[in-house]
Amino acid sequence: MGAILRAIDELEYDIDEMLFVSGIGCGAWIPSPHFAADTLHVTHGRPIAFATGAKLFKPSLKVVVISGDGDLASIGGNHLIHAARRDTDLTVICANNGIYGMTGGQVAASTPLDARTSTTPDGNRERPFDLCRLVEAAGGTYVARYAVIQIKPLIRSIKRGLEHAGFSFIEVLSPCPTQFGRRNASGSPYEMLQTLRANCVSRRKGEAMETENVEGKILTGEFVAP
Ligand SMILES: Cc1ncc(C[n+]2csc(CCOP(=O)(O)OP(=O)(O)O)c2C)c(N)n1
Ligand SMILES: [Mg+2]
């Protein structure tokens, strides 16, 4: 929330010319009811569909979708890939905690392999989507990933996404100590952030590293940028 508001402030956008759309989940609470702005808080999995309608109705509106990984990439995955394919002029910010947080910690399409969730008590056996690679393959024209602890690059990236005319997608790694951490011996919320920091490698560095050293790391940075 802080990064998004700072990006809007630094761009000196008029928030009255913006619309924030979210689905259902903890991530979806970021704009609504907290932003003093127009927000649509809609059906689970459908914020991109509502946002597309609003954008078509009033093209001058800056339309920003803010929601969770389950909302945008599990139930809402089809809307995500088709908006990317159409290069619809939206900015989609995905708070990825790798789990369905709000509903009790069920497995999501973004849950890491072997991670324990309430529906995978022995560990997740399904491979997760790499959200950025998915959106890139579908045709997104600005695609980036940062963790919540990479605050300056994250703000810069949100600004680029907002300024980009076309489909921009920013995945924000946002750990959930309550539903993910406590099931996976991830330590305190502070320790989860430290682990995240240790595991993030910039895309450029990652590409130059040996394969075995990149394993288990998360690549961050811009994957598609004009
Ligand atoms: C059509 C429909 N299916 C299922 C649900 C129940 N539901 C609400 S939020 C949610 C998952 C939220 O996960 P995510 O989008 O990752 O958000 P988080 O809470 O993790 O931030 C589910 C399954 C619903 N509200 N509507
Ligand atoms: Mg989630």
Tokens 């689905």 found at: 23
Residue 141 phi, psi dihedral angles, 5° rounding: -105, -5
- The rounded Å distance from CA 60 to ligand 2 centre is 30
- 128 C-beta neighbours (distance < 10 Å), count: 18
pLDDT digits (tens, 9 = 90+) for 200-225: 999 999 988 888 888 889 999 999 99
pLDDT digits (tens, 9 = 90+) for 99-156: 999 999 999 999 999 999 999 999 999 999 999 999 999 999 999 999 999 999 999 9
- The rounded Å distance from CA 12 to ligand 1 centre is 33
Residue nearest (by alpha carbon) to ligand 1 atom 5:
44
pLDDT band at 21 (very low <50, low <70, confident <90, very high): very high
Q: Token pair for residue 224?
A: 């598609």
pLDDT of residue 193: 96
Pocket test residue of 69, 71, 99 for ligand 1, highest count of atoms within 8 A of CB: 71
pLDDT of residue 207: 86
Q: Which atom of ligand 1 is nearest to the CA of 108?
A: 16
Q: Residue 21 class from Cβ within 10 Å (0-12 exposed, 13-18 middle, 19+ buried)?
A: buried
| Ligand 1 shell residues, CB under 6 Å | 24-27, 44, 67-71, 95, 97, 99-103, 108
Point out the ligand nearest to the CA of residue 26.
1
- The rounded Å distance from CA 209 to ligand 2 centre is 30
Question: Averaged over 8-12, what is the pLDDT?
Answer: 98
What's the whole-model pTM score?
0.98
Can you point out the beta strands (E) in the chain? 18-22, 38-41, 62-68, 91-96, 142-147, 168-173, 200-202, 218-224
Non-local (6+) Cβ contacts of 178 within 8 A are 101, 105
Q: How far apart are CA 92 and CA 89, in angstroms?
A: 10
151 membership: H or E segment, kind and range:
helix 151-163
pLDDT digits (tens, 9 = 90+) for 52-89: 999 999 999 999 999 999 999 999 999 999 999 999 99
